[in-house]
Structure 1
Amino acid sequence: MRAITMEEFGGPEVLRLTEVPDLESRAGHHILNVIRSGVNYADVHVRGNTYLAPVELPYIPGNEVLGTAPDGRRLVGLTRGGGYAEQAHLHRRIAWDVPDDISDDQAVCLALQGQSAWHILFTSAGVHAGERVVIPAAGGGLGSLAVQLAKNAGAKVIALASTEEKRLLAANLGADATVDSTTDDLTGAILEAAGGPVQVALEMTGGPQLPAVLAALAPRGRLAVYGFASGQQGNLPLRLLMEKSITVSGFWLPSLYGDRTALPTSMEKLFNAVRTGDLRTITGGVYPLAEAAVAHTTLATRTHSGKLSLDPTK
């Protein structure tokens, strides 16, 4: 089968199309004929050797796939690598049947980014109706879903995005206010847009954006950290955390893989939200498998909106 393999860590150029042996049966797993491979920031961290879980080379990246099982079922789910290929092993515990009224491009938005958005908001940050919530990268795959989920929960959403086009998208998805994430005074811009300090802030950029967002939190506010897309992890000011009694939680989706109820429950809610029109998925581009490096470059430069994925059938 064809697959994208990494022989070394580095830039997008290390993602190379190769021929590898077809997969063999593995206990507790489906062998999926892959139709879509989700492209995520986790894959960028894997490529650069900064991922939370170390990987051994050679390696096939990709943690999110959609495809068909040998019995004809259409499944979407999560992997621990191996997704950028024509076939992938998908553990039965983190695989879900895709309803007939959910398209391939809708479903691939939900397994990793949809599930992450849901649990960051409601499991980690505990968002409630009436709270002011800051959501970064609001035009991206995860952020665009988080804007809608928070709004549907009754929160006031302040969306951060780097371009006017992405801020307009966030507003169209329900954000109450938008902020240019590249502004020099990000804290002041958030406070002005929100009408005061916020109760909840999501953070995935790191670097100087982390303390700027933290400073916009109200006393007893909650910060949910789930990435450092800038490549800089940043430091948390302990004095400020204590002075304002701020709660900081980290989130990594694989921590829920062993939970038998958390992900199945949230996936069903996500499917239902798409079905009813309460949740709109945004497709930012579908690339042939051989163009994985192009997809990674697009993701890193943030020139897209919504979800990026690969099509291993092309």
Structure 2
Amino acid sequence: MRAIVMREFGGPDVLRLEDVPEPGPRGGHMLVDVTLAGVNYADVHARGDSYLAPVELPYVPGNEVVGTDGGRRVVGLCRGGGYAERTLLHRRVTWDVPDAVSDEQAVALALQGNSAWHLLFTSLRITEGETVVVPAAAGGVGSLAVQLAARAGARVIGLAGSAEKRKLAQELGAHAVVDSTAEDLTERILDAAGGPVEAALEMTGGATFARTLAAVAPRGRLAVYGFAGGDLASVPTRDLMEKSLTVSGFWLPQLYADRTALPTSMKALFDAVEDGCLTPLTGAVHPLGDAARAHRELAARTGTGKLALDVTR
């Protein structure tokens, strides 16, 4: 079968299309014929050997797919192996796709949709009337988080790096938008929110982390789910104590073994899409062999919505 294989760590060019053996049987798993494979920052970190879990070479990237199992159309999560014509999905993190949900929508919900849902409602526990900062508000996780938070009655401050993306964030439900590249980011958030915010998401790291945290109100919460800028951040405990802040980390695979968390969020996401209350943004879809191009686009942050690979091409 065809698959994208990494035999070394490095830039996008280490992603090469090869013929490889099909994965063998594994307890609790199903072999799925892949239609679409989602492209995520997790794949970029795996490629650069900076992922949260160790990556052993050779390695087939990809942590979410839409495909078929016999006559069933399914979406599921995996720990690598998604950039391939066939992959193994654990039955616990595989779901039937409703007829009203397209393949492109479903692949946006598996990793990014579940992440957005649990960041807001499990980590931050946002409530109606609170103000929450959402970074990359026109991106995969961010665009879904904006809609979910606004639907829950929160006031959303969306961060984005271009005027086009900020406009899109407002169309999705953000109450105000801020240029995420501004050096006075803290002051701009405070101005847009009318004061410190109760909650914030953060996925860039470095100076952006510090500037976002500085906008959080006493007894507020911040949830960290990435470091797309490449710089990990640290928090002085004095700062946490002075404002009684809660800073939590989030990594979706920690929920894979939970028998209720992901089924609950997946049902809520499917229901919201079917009801027209949630619109997953579908971005560029590239042929499997163009995985390197997809990674360059993701790193450049030029696109909006969900990047995916069409494994049938």
TM-score, with structure 2 as normaliser: 0.99
Whether 2:156 is the aligned partner of 1:157: answer yes
**Match for residue 36 of structure 2?**
36
Q: Which runs of 5+ in 1 are unaligned?
A: none
Deviation at 1:28, TM superposition (A): 1.0
Note the alpha carbon deviations across 1:52-88, whole angstroms, 9 max, x for none.
Answer: 000100000000011001x210110100100000001
Q: Which runs of 5+ in 2 are unaligned?
A: none
Report how many aligned residue pairs link the two structures: 313
Deviation at 1:234, TM superposition (A): 1.6
In 2, distance between residues paired with 1:191 and 1:24?
A: 54
Deviation at 1:24, TM superposition (A): 2.7
Note the alpha carbon deviations across 1:80-115, whole angstroms, 9 max, x for none.
Answer: 100000001000000000011111011000000000
In 1, distance between residues paired with 2:3 and 2:11?
A: 18
3-state DSSP of counterpart to 1:241 = helix
Deviation at 1:23, TM superposition (A): 2.7
In 1, distance between residues paired with 2:255 and 2:117?
A: 12
Whether 2:234 is the aligned partner of 1:239: answer no
3-state DSSP of counterpart to 2:206 = coil
Deviation at 1:238, TM superposition (A): 2.0
3-state DSSP of counterpart to 1:4 = strand
Deviation at 1:152, TM superposition (A): 0.5
Deviation at 1:213, TM superposition (A): 0.3
Whether 2:237 is the aligned partner of 1:271: answer no
**Match for residue 250 of structure 1?**
249
**Match for residue 141 of structure 1?**
140
In 2, distance between residues paired with 1:140 and 1:34?
A: 23
In 2, distance between residues paired with 1:313 and 1:129?
A: 43
Deviation at 1:27, TM superposition (A): 1.8
**Match for residue 190 of structure 1?**
189
In 2, distance between residues paired with 1:208 and 1:140?
A: 20
**Match for residue 168 of structure 2?**
169
3-state DSSP of counterpart to 1:74 = strand
Give 2:138's aligned amino acid: G
Identity %: 66
Note the alpha carbon deviations across 1:135-192, whole angstroms, 9 max, x for none.
Answer: 0000101100000000000000000000001001100000000000011100000000
3-state DSSP of counterpart to 1:208 = helix
3-state DSSP of counterpart to 1:109 = helix
4+ aligned runs moved over 6 Å, structure 1: none
1:41-190, aligned counterparts within 5 Å?
41-69=41-69, 71-190=70-189
Deviation at 1:236, TM superposition (A): 1.1
Give 1:124's aligned amino acid: S
In 2, distance between residues paired with 1:185 and 1:196?
A: 15
